[in-house]
């Protein structure tokens, strides 16, 4: 299973960024996760017009748990 994360940054201050975590996942394939990340990026202007999506990452559930325990 994969979780989608999208890094968004302010257009006028590109050093001001935050990470969005998808609330619809997890997804059984990495491809499904990637599609969802692109959907989030496409919908972003409607919800957060001053931000732009700059990167995305699909993280395996096991990898996410390892990072939480560090």
Q: For the whole model, what pTM was predicted? A: 0.82
Residue 63 pLDDT greater than 70, yes or no: no
Q: How far apart are CA 11 and CA 50, in angstroms?
A: 6
pLDDT of amino acid 20: 96
Averaged over 25-54, what is the pLDDT?
96
Query: What is the enclosing helix (H) or strand (E) of 45?
Result: helix 30-47
Reported confidence tier of residue 64, pLDDT bands at 50, 70, 90 = low
The number of angstroms, rounded, from the C-alpha of 55 to the middle of its chain's C-alpha atoms is: 8
Residue 70 pLDDT greater than 50, yes or no: no
Q: What is the pLDDT of residues 7-35, one digit of tens each?
A: 999 999 989 999 999 999 899 999 999 99
Distances (CA, A) of 3 to 10, 31, 33, 46, 50: 23, 11, 7, 22, 25
* Token pair 């017009």 in the structure block, residue: 49
């Amino acid at each position: 299973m994969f979780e989608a994360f999208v890094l968004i940054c302010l257009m006028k201050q590109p050093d001001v960024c935050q990470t969005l975590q998808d609330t619809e996942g997890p997804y059984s394939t990495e491809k499904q996760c990637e599609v969802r990340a692109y959907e989030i990026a496409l919908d972003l202007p409607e919800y957060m017009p001053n931000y732009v999506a700059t990167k995305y990452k699909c993280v395996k559930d096991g990898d996410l748990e390892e990072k939480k325990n560090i």
